[in-house]
A and B are shown apart, each in its own frame.
Chain A
Amino acid sequence: MVDWNLAFLISGAGYGITILVLIIVSMCIWLISAVLQRSKQGSKG
């Protein structure tokens, strides 16, 4: 017996979580890079 609700829930939520997690990771990486670059510029100045 195919459970349509479960199938759409898993695919929708699964795709959504994948995007959300990688957006969070990309923001962390961007933030760390920005801080490191700023501190590097600060130490040069």
Chain B
Amino acid sequence: MFGLYESALGQLAWGSVAMLFIGGVLIYLGIVRKMEPLLLVPIGFGIFMVNLPMAGIMTYTPEGLPAIGGLKEIAEGTIGILNLLYYYGLESELIPLLIFLGVGTLMDFSPTIARPISLVFGATAQLGIFVVFLIAYLSGMFTINEAASIGIIGGSDGPPTVYLTIALAPVLLGPITMIAYSYMALVPILQPPVIRLLTTQKERKIFMKPQVRKVSKLELVLFPIVVFIVATLLVPKCSPLVGMLMFGNLLRVSGVTDRLAHAGSIMNDILILLLGISVGSLMPAQVFFSPRTLVIIGLAIVAFIVSTAGGLLTAKLINLFLKEKINPIIGAAGVSAIPMAARVAQREGQRANPKNYLLMHALGPNMAGAIGTSLVAGIFMGMLR
């Protein structure tokens, strides 16, 4: 009657209403609090799209995975438009890899090249990934593949997290991606207490000269090439991620491919839009409201804290052998979360010693963290897939 004979109101379950609330919270955090708005707003609206009954924008198999099909199935109404986006964009791994290419066009590795030891902080700050992998798997609640996907949240890097989860635990892609991006926005809240707990006031006061060495253009051009070749020779499965990141960066630094680098950064905006809406649509109530999701939320905090501690403690260890000490706070920036982790290091350093200007020093480990997380994703892929 009056066109309402197919109303979905009667089919609105409590789980769906709760998910609509969560979607609303994400949109609020994005728009009002400015927390990762480019991702949280599309994710929030994607949650709306998939949790309104009978909308049919995304359909699921009984196992909780998105139904797969093509244009014929869309015409028949058995799948929705977001199923296509999931299938061609996420399941093919295309979107996370192309986003990483775009990220590469935006990254300046000068601070990492100027102080190559930054790469060690970028490696040791991956500790949280492996600790949480162990906890998740040994808890018996998750398979070994799911545990790896949960652990990688500790790397604080979106594309490797999405890439690995699609390959190893696609059923958890929605919750893991949402939790990973939400926590990345919370780095300024999560890291400072760990930094203050694990360093003394004297250590935080350590002064570092504001300028890092000026890096030549040849070094900038050689960096992505060397990193890609060495990383791929030693961990072949990391080559898609590291390759895209380094290719994007080469476009940026070559000096003759500015137009391509610009295209990469524009493409990134489009891809992040598609990623956000696809990830949001992977969170129907039946997938999200499970005890496992709550456990993942808790484990992700542990992963961030342990990763921060891993970078910090390495910096303290290295200081034992250095004449000119480094401020250990920059080790905490080894978790990628670019550039929030570097900004946290800058703020904490300046709080302890107003003369300190750690941003450029912290950006080195920060950039290295992105390479570190890509390596870890490749290692897990090699061992578990």
Contacts and interface: CB of A to CB of B under 8 A. Distances in A.
B291 interface: no
A12 B218 CA distance: 36
A14 B218 contact: no
Contacts of A29: 112-113, 116, 119, 219, 223, 226-227
B116 A18 contact: no
A18 B123 contact: yes
Interface stretch (B13-21, B126-134, B202-210): B126-134
B372 A25 contact: no
Interface in B309-334: none
Contacts, number: 101
A33 B223 CA distance: 10
Contacts of A40: 216
Interface string A1-36: 011101110111111011111111111111011001
A15 to B, nearest CB: 5
B137 A2 contact: yes
Contacts of B126: 15, 18
A8 B227 contact: no
B22 interface: no
B128 to A, nearest CB: 10
A7 B5 CA distance: 55
Contact of A15 (B113, B130, B137, B368): B130
B116 to A, nearest CB: 4
B138 A4 contact: yes
Contact of B235 (A19, A21, A27): A21
A33 B116 contact: yes
A26 B134 contact: no
B144 A18 contact: no
B383 A10 contact: yes
Nearest to B123: A22
B270 interface: no
Contacts of A20: 234
A11 B119 contact: no
Interface string B218-229: 110011001100
B122 A22 contact: yes
B371 A32 contact: no
Given A2-B140, A28-B226, A29-B226, A23 B127 contact: no
A6 B375 CA distance: 20
Given A24-B234, A33-B219, A8 B134 contact: yes
A11 B371 CA distance: 18
A24 to B, nearest CB: 6
Nearest to A1: B140
A6 B219 contact: no
A8 B140 CA distance: 15
A20 B119 CA distance: 10
A37 B119 CA distance: 20
Nearest to A7: B137
B380 interface: yes
Given A22-B119, A25-B119, A25-B231, A14 B144 contact: no
A11 B134 contact: yes
A10 B148 CA distance: 10
A21 to B, nearest CB: 5
Contacts of A22: 119-120, 122-123, 368, 371-372, 375
Contacts of B223: 29
Interface of B: 112-113, 116-120, 122-124, 126-127, 130-131, 133-134, 137-138, 140, 144, 147-148, 215-216, 218-219, 222-223, 226-227, 230-231, 234-235, 368, 371-372, 375-376, 379-380, 383-384
Interface of A: 2-4, 6-8, 10-15, 17-30, 32-33, 36, 40
11 contacts: A11-B134, A13-B383, A14-B379, A17-B235, A17-B379, A18-B372, A18-B376, A21-B235, A22-B120, A28-B230, A33-B219
